[in-house]
Structure 1
Amino acid sequence: MNRIFTVDEARSLMPLVRGYVDELVGLRADLAELAHDLRNEGRSPLGGIPEAKAFEARVAEILGWFEEQGVEVKGIAPVLVDFPAVLDGRSVRLCWIEGETALGWYHLSELGFPGRRRLP
């Protein structure tokens, strides 16, 4: 989906984004711990291969939700999302990273994260 967001549209999605990100962070940690335990101990209190596959499937579902909304996931550790937008006639990405309390940054599409600026 090639969706272009207004700042208000992107901000209105943030409660859902944060909810899915919270779940994703938990899954990411569980999957990392499970994989570590299985690799080093051969077992884990979190389960085995079936549980790992279930965690991976849920991660894929969450990432699919972002794609359906037109939100770009740029990373999952930490979670970094971009909302395609146009500001002052320029292609930008409204960007949010795990741990931020609100959507308050953007960058020119061609610059990526290093070009982040506060939203006016």
Structure 2
Amino acid sequence: MGNKTFTLSEANEMLPQLQEDLRKLQQITEQFEDLYISYQKEKAAYEQVFAAIEGSEDPFFERESQLEFMKMEVDLLIENFSRKGVQLKMITPGLIDFPAVLGNEDILICWKEGEAEVSHYHGLHDGFMGRKPFPQDE
């Protein structure tokens, strides 16, 4: 496991900022997906009609540039989670793990979007299905 570990209270202190970051990430990924689907459909239709015309200008350059910029923004937002020492496991619904130690065992304190606070954990290899309530006497 990496260097940074969190206590339950540290994870909960970070949660509001992480939720804000997650909302931004969800918004831009939704916009990206909508734009990409639209782009794919329009480009396929265009290529069917204009594939035979040599030297025709590509009307999709601007949209492709916009998609590339959005992808870079998504990558940066995802990297921000790593820089803070947390693991973004899923964007929608949001699922975030905080490396921690319980007793002598390396664990992941976990939060799922919709939960008011961070209150569960699981082993490194148990995944979300292995979640258990975090002991009250942290």
Q: Is the structural similarity TM-score above 0.5?
A: yes
Distance 1:31 1:100 in 2: 26
Give the CA deviation at 1:100.
Answer: 2.6
Between Structure 1 and Structure 2, whose CA radius of gyration is higher?
A: 2
TM-score normalised by length of structure 2: 0.76
CA contact (8 A) 2:8 2:119 kept: no
Give the gaps of 5 or more residues in structure 2: 47-61
Shift of 1:9: 1.0
Matched, 1:2 2:10: no
CA distance in 2, matches of 1:50, 1:82: 33
1:1-120 to 2 correspondences below 5 Å = 2-42=3-43, 48-120=63-135
Instruction: Give me the whole-angstrom Cα distance separating, in 1, the residues matched to 2:82 and 2:119.
Output: 21
Query: Which is strand-richer, 1 or 2?
Result: 1
C-alpha RMSD of the superposition? 1.9
> Gaps (5+ residues) in structure 1?
none
- Give the C-alpha shift of residue 119 in structure 1: 2.0
Q: Give TM-score scaled by structure 1 length.
A: 0.86
Task: Give the count of matched residue pairs.
Answer: 117
Q: In 2 relative to 1, CA 98–50 (structure 1 residues): closer, same or farther, beyond 3 Å?
A: farther
Aligned identity (percent) is: 30
The structure whose RCO (Cα within 8 Å, separation 6+) is larger is: 2
Letter in 2 for 1:69: K
For residue 94 of structure 1, give the secondary structure of its aligned residue in structure 2: strand
